[in-house]
């Protein structure tokens, strides 16, 4: 066999998390780098993951009456400034187009950091009567946010992919109901597809989306010792509808302003999944978001090649619905192939050698645990289906156990300080004062969200005054 160059992961997840993550992204063929800092190339192996999310999410939101559309990338400066609070929140991150060729534009154009302004300027023309409501629009697109110093692929990039839903209702109750419905749907994306546990909750006033009445989010905690925001669902109230004059005549012929929501999940979710599950061998993919559920590796010898390859091809056809890969490349040892597919995260490896042919069996190897089992040829398809679900469940179980083991409840500032130093996620009582929130930032941490069901008791862990809220705190990306 040809002696191939070493391709494995050389950094340890527990020792050099940043270098380990970078190597997994590159060696598992997920990301490539462009000439613009913070702008990355999504290779097919990562984009296919995003397609799985799109398929699931599109199916669910369409059940809720949401329609997909597309709005322009460029937003006139005057339009972006229509809602002042919103603009204030995004001003440092906006990238501007000032010239077309050699000619200076009469008005600067913002490259979409988010689409509230350009969409709502249109909504005012679409909504006239209560019969036009609710209006539920979603778009899948890219956005650009420029202000940061240390880009991290997927997690923190200047250009990223997302969906943004923008809905309008006749009353507040309908809007409130949808905010939580979409938040629970985002939780399903992470739990059911990515096998990641999340904390649902409401953001503090300081951390809410600019221009919103309130923001809800899902957050998780990663092996790097940092929490991360996974997705958000915002109740915008009537802030934008009054700024953009989005009004309608109700069924009593009275003028009303609509109540609005916006909600989004991005390709950041892919990075979260990679960080949570992957190991020192490389990428680990939950089966439900893996493009290729299994790889067949025939163990070739001169004597058995023809019949063994024929059986491997037959098996590949039998398992077509799982989009299996048949790795029958010559010049590569079975061991080299095993390492490559482990590094690329294929959930199950199917080994087929001469002895397996004699016994009418194959060997199934799990990517998550490395466990092997011998399965009769006739039972391979049914067992593969079961095994993929077992892997999915095991990844979620391990991630949930990690979250539980690193979640600490504290009652004093000294306990909070120690927990943050120990890279834990903290559950604490909070008085609700911004000064205490700023005190948390002194520790290099921040508030994440407040559980949807609140049972405050006792005193604030920062200042000792009476508690108004329960809240999660951690160092965060």
pLDDT tens track for 404-419:
999 999 999 999 999 9
* pLDDT score, position 65: 98
Bond from prior residue into 134 cis (ω within 30 degrees of 0): yes
User: What per-residue confidence (pLDDT) applies to 205?
Assistant: 96
Give me the chain's average pLDDT, please.
Answer: 95
Residue 3 has pLDDT above 60, yes or no: no
- pLDDT exceeds 80 at position 217: yes
∠ CA 266-36-107, nearest 5°, is: 80
Whether 358 and 469 map to the same domain: the answer is no
pLDDT value at 134 more than 50 = yes
Are 158 and 273 in a shared domain? yes
> Is 302 part of a structural domain of the chain?
yes
Do both 203 and 250 map to the same domain? yes
Instruction: Indicate whether 465 belongs to any domain.
Output: yes
Minimum mean pLDDT range among 80-89, 222-231, 350-359, 458-467: 80-89
Specify whether 437 is located in the same domain as 357.
no
Share of the chain above pLDDT 90, in %: 92
Per-residue model confidence (pLDDT) at position 304 = 60
Cβ(165)–Cβ(261) below 8 Å: yes
**Per-residue model confidence (pLDDT) at position 77:** 92
User: How many CA atoms lie less than 13 Å away from 115 in the CB half-sphere?
Assistant: 25
DSSP state string for 118-132: HHHHHHHHH--BGGG
Mean pLDDT of 270-279: 98
Q: Which residue has the higher pLDDT, 295 or 8?
A: 295
Residue 5 has pLDDT above 50, yes or no: no
Q: What would the mean pLDDT of 342-351 be, rounded to a whole number? A: 98
> 198 and 70: one domain?
yes
Same domain, 91 and 171: yes
Q: What is the pLDDT of residue 462?
A: 97
Distance CA 343, CA 11 (A): 13
Query: pLDDT tens for residues 300-318?
Result: 876 667 889 999 999 999 9
Q: Domain count for the chain, please give it.
A: 3
Q: Band of the pLDDT at 81, cuts 50, 70, 90?
A: confident
CATH code of the domain containing 103? 3.30.930.10
Residue 255: the pLDDT is 97
Q: Rounded to an integer, what distance in angstroms lies between the CA atom of residue 178 and that of residue 262?
A: 10
pLDDT at 80: 87
Residue 115 shares a structural domain with residue 72: yes
Same domain for 298 and 271, yes or no, is no
Q: What is the CATH number of the domain that holds 462?
A: 3.30.110.30
One domain, residues 312 and 268: no
In the predicted model, is pLDDT for residue 105 greater than 80?
Answer: yes
Per-residue model confidence as pLDDT tens digits over 389-407:
999 999 999 999 999 999 9
Residue 1 pLDDT exceeds 70? no
> Does residue 213 fall inside a structural domain?
yes
Structural element, H or E, at residue 101: none
For residue 301, what pLDDT is reported? 77
**Closest C-alpha among 411, 297, 414, 407 to residue 356:** 297
**Beta-strand runs (E) in 170-258:** 199-202, 214-221, 227-237, 247-249, 255-257
Q: Is residue 397 part of a domain?
A: no
Quote the pLDDT of residue 431: 98
d(CA 195, CA 197): 7
Is residue 456 a part of any domain in this protein?
Answer: yes
Mean pLDDT confidence for 97-115: 96
Residue 314 lies in a domain: yes
| Host domain of residue 246 | 17-277
- In this prediction, residue 350 carries a pLDDT of 98
Given 252, 277, 302, the domain boundary residue is 277
Task: Give pLDDT tens digits for 144-153.
Answer: 998 777 899 9
Assess if residue 395 is contained within a domain.
no
CA dihedral (427, 432, 438, 439) positive or negative: negative
Q: What local confidence, expressed as pLDDT, does residue 305 receive?
A: 78
Which range has the worst mean pLDDT, 19-28, 43-52, 58-67, 75-84? 75-84
* Residue 10: both structure tokens together: 């050389």
Same domain, 117 and 240: yes
pLDDT of residue 83: 76
Long-range contacts of range 449-456, CB-CB < 8 Å, 24 or more positions apart?
Answer: 449/199, 449/200, 449/201, 449/202, 449/203, 449/204, 449/207, 449/216, 449/217, 449/219, 450/201, 450/202, 450/203, 450/204, 451/199, 451/200, 451/201, 452/180, 452/200, 452/201, 452/202, 452/216, 456/429
Token pair in block for residue 472? 């999660």
CATH number of domain containing 317: 3.40.50.800
Q: Is 433 strand, coil or helix?
A: coil
Residue that terminates a domain, selected from 229, 249, 277? 277
Q: Are residues 271 and 353 in the same domain?
A: no
In a domain, 57, yes or no: yes
Taking a C-beta distance cutoff of 8 angstroms, is the pair 27, 7 a contact? yes
Indicate whether 422 pLDDT > 80: yes
> In the prediction, which pLDDT does 303 show?
67
pLDDT of residue 6: 52
Q: Are residues 327 and 256 in the same domain?
A: no
């Amino acid at each position: 066999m040809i002696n191939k160059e070493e391709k494995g992961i050389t950094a340890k997840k527990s020792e050099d998390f940043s270098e380990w993550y970078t190597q997994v992204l590159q060696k598992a063929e997920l990301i490539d780098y462009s000439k613009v800092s913070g702008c990355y190339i999504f290779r097919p192996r990562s984009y296919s993951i995003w397609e799985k999310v799109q398929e699931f999410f599109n199916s669910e939101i369409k059940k809720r009456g949401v329609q997909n559309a597309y709005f322009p990338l460029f937003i006139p400066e005057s339009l972006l400034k229509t809602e002042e609070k919103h603009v204030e929140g995004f001003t440092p991150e906006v990238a501007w187009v000032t010239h077309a060729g050699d000619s200076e534009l009469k008005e600067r154009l913002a490259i979409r950091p988010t689409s509230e302004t350009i969409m709502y300027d249109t909504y005012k023309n679409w909504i006239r009567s209560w019969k036009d409501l609710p209006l539920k629009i979603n778009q899948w697109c890219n956005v650009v946010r420029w202000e940061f110093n240390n880009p991290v692929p997927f997690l923190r990039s200047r250009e990223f992919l997302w969906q943004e839903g923008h809905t309008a209702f006749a009353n507040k109750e309908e809007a409130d109901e949808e905010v939580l419905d979409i938040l629970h749907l985002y939780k399903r994306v992470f739990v059911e597809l990515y096998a990641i546990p999340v904390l649902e909750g409401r953001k503090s006033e300081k951390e809410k989306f600019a221009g919103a009445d309130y923001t809800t989010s899902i957050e998780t905690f990663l092996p790097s010792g940092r929490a991360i925001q996974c997705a958000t669902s915002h109740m915008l109230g009537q802030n934008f509808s009054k700024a953009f004059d989005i009004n309608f005549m109700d069924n009593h012929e009275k003028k009303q302003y609509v109540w609005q929501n916006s909600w989004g999940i991005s390709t950041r979710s892919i990075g979260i999944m990679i960080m949570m599950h992957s190991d020192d061998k490389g990428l680990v993919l939950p089966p439900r978001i893996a493009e290729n559920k299994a790889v067949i590796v025939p163990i070739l010898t001169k004597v058995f090649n023809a019949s063994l390859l024929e059986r491997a091809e037959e098996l590949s056809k039998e398992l077509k619905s799982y989009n299996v890969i048949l790795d029958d490349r010559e010049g590569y040892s079975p061991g080299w192939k095993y390492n490559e597919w482990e590094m690329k995260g294929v959930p199950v490896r199917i080994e087929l050698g001469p002895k397996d042919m004699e016994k009418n069996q194959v060997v199934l190897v799990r990517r998550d645990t490395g466990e092997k089992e011998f399965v009769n040829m006739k039972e391979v398809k049914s067992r593969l289906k079961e095994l993929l679900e077992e892997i999915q469940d095991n990844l979620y179980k391990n991630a949930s156990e990690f979250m539980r083991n690193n979640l600490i409840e504290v009652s004093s500032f000294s306990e909070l300080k120690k927990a943050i130093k120990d890279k834990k996620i903290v559950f604490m009582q909070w008085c609700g004062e911004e000064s205490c929130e700023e005190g948390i930032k002194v520790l290099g941490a921040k508030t994440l969200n407040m559980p949807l069901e609140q049972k405050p008791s006792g005193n604030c862990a920062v200042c000792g005054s009476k508690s108004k809220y329960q809240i999660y705190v951690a160092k965060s990306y």
